[in-house]
Copies of this chain bind each other. A is one copy, B any other.
Amino acid sequence: MEDDRDIAQRLGEGLAEAGFSVEYAFNGPDGLALGTDDSFDAAVLDLGLPQMQGLDVLKEWRRKNRNFPVLILTARGTWSEKVDGLNAGADDYITKPFHLPEVAARLKALIRRSAGQASSVLTHGRLTLDITTGKATYDGAPIELTASELRMLNYFMHRIGRIVSQSELTEHLYATVDSRESNTIEVYVSRLRRKTSTDLIKTIRGLGYRMD
Protein backbone atom coordinates (compact mmCIF):
# COMPACT_ATOMS: atom_id res chain seq x y z
CA MET A 1 0.00 0.00 0.00
CA GLU A 2 1.66 3.20 -1.09
CA ASP A 3 0.96 6.79 -1.84
CA ASP A 4 3.57 6.85 -4.54
CA ARG A 5 2.76 4.22 -7.12
CA ASP A 6 6.31 3.92 -8.32
CA ILE A 7 7.53 3.14 -4.88
CA ALA A 8 4.70 0.73 -4.38
CA GLN A 9 5.59 -0.97 -7.63
CA ARG A 10 9.19 -1.34 -6.68
CA LEU A 11 8.35 -2.57 -3.23
CA GLY A 12 5.77 -5.00 -4.45
CA GLU A 13 8.08 -6.51 -7.06
CA GLY A 14 10.85 -6.83 -4.56
CA LEU A 15 8.64 -8.56 -2.06
CA ALA A 16 7.25 -10.84 -4.73
CA GLU A 17 10.79 -11.81 -5.60
CA ALA A 18 11.41 -12.53 -1.96
CA GLY A 19 8.54 -14.96 -2.05
CA PHE A 20 5.65 -12.86 -0.84
CA SER A 21 2.28 -12.65 -2.46
CA VAL A 22 1.33 -9.00 -2.71
CA GLU A 23 -1.79 -6.90 -3.08
CA TYR A 24 -2.02 -3.15 -3.26
CA ALA A 25 -4.27 -0.38 -2.12
CA PHE A 26 -3.51 3.19 -3.10
CA ASN A 27 -5.73 5.05 -0.69
CA GLY A 28 -7.24 4.75 2.75
CA PRO A 29 -10.65 3.32 1.95
CA ASP A 30 -9.21 0.68 -0.34
CA GLY A 31 -6.71 -0.23 2.32
CA LEU A 32 -9.49 -0.58 4.82
CA ALA A 33 -11.39 -2.85 2.51
CA LEU A 34 -8.35 -5.02 1.87
CA GLY A 35 -7.63 -5.28 5.55
CA THR A 36 -11.08 -6.49 6.41
CA ASP A 37 -10.45 -9.70 4.57
CA ASP A 38 -8.25 -10.77 7.40
CA SER A 39 -6.52 -13.15 5.10
CA PHE A 40 -3.17 -11.42 5.15
CA ASP A 41 0.00 -12.44 6.86
CA ALA A 42 1.11 -8.85 7.24
CA ALA A 43 0.60 -5.34 5.91
CA VAL A 44 2.97 -2.58 4.89
CA LEU A 45 1.42 0.78 5.57
CA ASP A 46 2.61 4.09 4.24
CA LEU A 47 1.74 6.94 6.53
CA GLY A 48 0.17 9.75 4.65
CA LEU A 49 -2.20 7.92 2.38
CA PRO A 50 -4.47 10.27 0.52
CA GLN A 51 -8.04 10.70 1.70
CA MET A 52 -7.40 9.12 5.01
CA GLN A 53 -4.59 9.24 7.49
CA GLY A 54 -2.59 6.05 7.42
CA LEU A 55 -2.87 5.79 11.15
CA ASP A 56 -6.61 5.93 10.95
CA VAL A 57 -6.55 2.95 8.66
CA LEU A 58 -4.43 1.11 11.18
CA LYS A 59 -6.65 2.07 14.07
CA GLU A 60 -9.70 0.94 12.19
CA TRP A 61 -8.08 -2.42 11.48
CA ARG A 62 -7.23 -2.88 15.11
CA ARG A 63 -10.67 -1.79 16.16
CA LYS A 64 -12.04 -4.58 14.05
CA ASN A 65 -9.64 -7.02 15.64
CA ARG A 66 -7.55 -7.51 12.55
CA ASN A 67 -4.40 -8.59 14.22
CA PHE A 68 -1.98 -9.19 11.38
CA PRO A 69 1.34 -7.48 11.93
CA VAL A 70 1.74 -4.04 10.41
CA LEU A 71 4.97 -2.51 9.22
CA ILE A 72 4.90 1.22 8.87
CA LEU A 73 6.77 3.17 6.23
CA THR A 74 7.48 6.75 7.14
CA ALA A 75 9.47 9.60 5.79
CA ARG A 76 12.69 10.30 7.57
CA GLY A 77 12.47 12.59 10.54
CA THR A 78 8.85 12.34 11.52
CA TRP A 79 9.43 10.76 14.88
CA SER A 80 6.09 11.50 16.35
CA GLU A 81 4.43 9.65 13.54
CA LYS A 82 6.43 6.56 14.26
CA VAL A 83 5.72 6.65 17.93
CA ASP A 84 2.06 7.30 17.33
CA GLY A 85 2.12 4.46 14.86
CA LEU A 86 3.52 2.04 17.38
CA ASN A 87 0.97 3.19 19.88
CA ALA A 88 -1.79 2.77 17.38
CA GLY A 89 -0.90 -0.88 17.08
CA ALA A 90 1.88 -1.11 14.51
CA ASP A 91 4.51 -3.75 15.08
CA ASP A 92 7.51 -2.20 13.45
CA TYR A 93 8.45 0.75 11.32
CA ILE A 94 11.04 1.60 8.76
CA THR A 95 12.15 4.92 7.33
CA LYS A 96 12.33 5.96 3.72
CA PRO A 97 14.46 5.61 1.75
CA PHE A 98 14.39 1.92 2.54
CA HIS A 99 16.38 -1.03 1.32
CA LEU A 100 14.29 -3.82 -0.07
CA PRO A 101 16.11 -6.66 1.65
CA GLU A 102 15.60 -4.95 4.95
CA VAL A 103 11.89 -4.59 4.40
CA ALA A 104 11.64 -8.21 3.41
CA ALA A 105 13.67 -9.31 6.40
CA ARG A 106 11.57 -7.35 8.83
CA LEU A 107 8.39 -8.59 7.29
CA LYS A 108 9.55 -12.14 7.60
CA ALA A 109 10.47 -11.59 11.20
CA LEU A 110 7.09 -10.08 11.93
CA ILE A 111 5.25 -12.88 10.25
CA ARG A 112 7.32 -15.51 11.97
CA ARG A 113 6.60 -13.91 15.28
CA SER A 114 2.93 -13.45 14.67
CA ALA A 115 2.66 -17.06 13.62
CA GLY A 116 3.73 -17.97 17.10
CA GLN A 117 0.96 -15.87 18.58
CA ALA A 118 -1.77 -15.50 16.07
CA SER A 119 -4.51 -18.00 16.21
CA SER A 120 -3.41 -20.86 14.06
CA VAL A 121 -6.47 -22.78 13.11
CA LEU A 122 -6.37 -26.35 11.95
CA THR A 123 -8.99 -27.42 9.48
CA HIS A 124 -9.92 -30.88 8.41
CA GLY A 125 -13.12 -31.55 6.55
CA ARG A 126 -15.97 -29.99 8.43
CA LEU A 127 -13.90 -29.80 11.57
CA THR A 128 -12.03 -26.76 12.77
CA LEU A 129 -9.73 -26.36 15.73
CA ASP A 130 -7.96 -23.31 17.05
CA ILE A 131 -5.61 -24.28 19.78
CA THR A 132 -4.85 -20.73 20.91
CA THR A 133 -8.45 -19.79 21.47
CA GLY A 134 -9.52 -23.24 22.50
CA LYS A 135 -12.41 -23.07 20.11
CA ALA A 136 -13.56 -25.82 17.83
CA THR A 137 -16.36 -26.00 15.33
CA TYR A 138 -18.05 -28.83 13.51
CA ASP A 139 -20.12 -27.92 10.48
CA GLY A 140 -19.69 -24.33 11.52
CA ALA A 141 -21.31 -24.88 14.88
CA PRO A 142 -19.09 -24.34 17.89
CA ILE A 143 -18.47 -27.34 20.10
CA GLU A 144 -17.42 -27.22 23.71
CA LEU A 145 -14.30 -29.17 24.53
CA THR A 146 -12.62 -29.79 27.83
CA ALA A 147 -8.90 -29.45 28.19
CA SER A 148 -8.21 -33.14 27.73
CA GLU A 149 -10.50 -33.51 24.77
CA LEU A 150 -8.80 -30.55 23.21
CA ARG A 151 -5.38 -32.06 23.66
CA MET A 152 -6.48 -35.32 22.16
CA LEU A 153 -8.20 -33.74 19.21
CA ASN A 154 -5.17 -31.62 18.58
CA TYR A 155 -3.01 -34.71 18.59
CA PHE A 156 -5.24 -36.43 16.08
CA MET A 157 -5.43 -33.46 13.78
CA HIS A 158 -1.67 -33.34 13.58
CA ARG A 159 -1.63 -36.97 12.53
CA ILE A 160 -4.28 -37.14 9.86
CA GLY A 161 -4.36 -40.51 8.12
CA ARG A 162 -1.94 -42.11 10.51
CA ILE A 163 -2.74 -44.89 12.91
CA VAL A 164 -2.43 -43.71 16.47
CA SER A 165 -2.11 -46.41 19.06
CA GLN A 166 -3.69 -46.27 22.47
CA SER A 167 -0.38 -46.37 24.24
CA GLU A 168 0.84 -43.51 22.10
CA LEU A 169 -2.16 -41.47 23.16
CA THR A 170 -1.78 -42.34 26.81
CA GLU A 171 1.85 -41.41 26.68
CA HIS A 172 1.14 -38.10 25.04
CA LEU A 173 -1.79 -37.14 27.19
CA TYR A 174 -0.44 -38.25 30.53
CA ALA A 175 3.28 -38.84 30.28
CA THR A 176 2.74 -42.12 32.04
CA VAL A 177 2.62 -45.53 30.50
CA ASP A 178 -0.34 -47.40 31.82
CA SER A 179 -0.69 -50.66 30.16
CA ARG A 180 -4.15 -51.95 29.63
CA GLU A 181 -5.77 -51.38 33.00
CA SER A 182 -8.25 -48.69 32.19
CA ASN A 183 -10.09 -47.69 29.08
CA THR A 184 -9.68 -43.98 29.56
CA ILE A 185 -8.54 -43.45 26.03
CA GLU A 186 -11.54 -45.24 24.64
CA VAL A 187 -13.75 -43.07 26.76
CA TYR A 188 -12.23 -39.88 25.44
CA VAL A 189 -12.43 -41.07 21.88
CA SER A 190 -16.04 -41.78 22.54
CA ARG A 191 -16.60 -38.28 23.88
CA LEU A 192 -14.94 -36.72 20.88
CA ARG A 193 -17.12 -38.75 18.59
CA ARG A 194 -20.24 -37.74 20.44
CA LYS A 195 -19.37 -34.07 20.19
CA THR A 196 -18.54 -34.22 16.51
CA SER A 197 -19.44 -37.19 14.42
CA THR A 198 -19.41 -40.93 14.92
CA ASP A 199 -17.16 -41.54 11.99
CA LEU A 200 -14.67 -38.79 12.67
CA ILE A 201 -12.25 -41.19 14.27
CA LYS A 202 -12.09 -44.64 12.86
CA THR A 203 -11.01 -47.50 15.06
CA ILE A 204 -8.51 -50.00 13.79
CA ARG A 205 -9.16 -52.96 15.93
CA GLY A 206 -6.14 -54.11 17.86
CA LEU A 207 -3.96 -51.30 16.59
CA GLY A 208 -5.46 -47.98 17.55
CA TYR A 209 -7.34 -45.17 15.86
CA ARG A 210 -7.08 -43.17 12.71
CA MET A 211 -8.60 -39.92 11.64
CA ASP A 212 -9.02 -39.17 7.94
Contacts and interface: CB of A to CB of B under 8 A. Distances in A.
A134 B65 contact: no
A interface, size bucket? 35 or more
Copies of this chain per assembly: 2
Given A91-B83, A113-B80, A134 B163 contact: yes
A118 B65 CA distance: 22
A96 to B, nearest CB: 15
Nearest to A80: B109
A123 interface: yes
Interface stretch (A13-21, A175-183, A203-211): A203-211
A39 interface: no
Given A109-B80, A205-B147, A206-B147, A163 B133 contact: yes
Interface string A110-146: 1011000011100100000000111000000000001
Given A79-B106, A84-B118, A86-B86, A134 B92 contact: no
Nearest to A105: B79
Interface string A68-85: 000000000001101110
A150 B204 CA distance: 11
Interface string A177-212: 000000000000000000000000000111100101
Contacts of A206: 146-148
Nearest to A123: B63
A84 B110 CA distance: 10
A29 interface: no
A203 B118 CA distance: 20
Nearest to A106: B79
A202 to B, nearest CB: 9
Given A86-B92, A87-B120, A146-B206, 13 more contacts: A65-B160, A79-B110, A79-B113, A80-B109, A80-B113, A83-B92, A83-B106, A87-B91, A133-B163, A133-B212, A134-B207, A147-B204, A147-B205
7 contacts: A65-B160, A65-B161, A83-B91, A83-B110, A84-B118, A146-B205, A148-B206
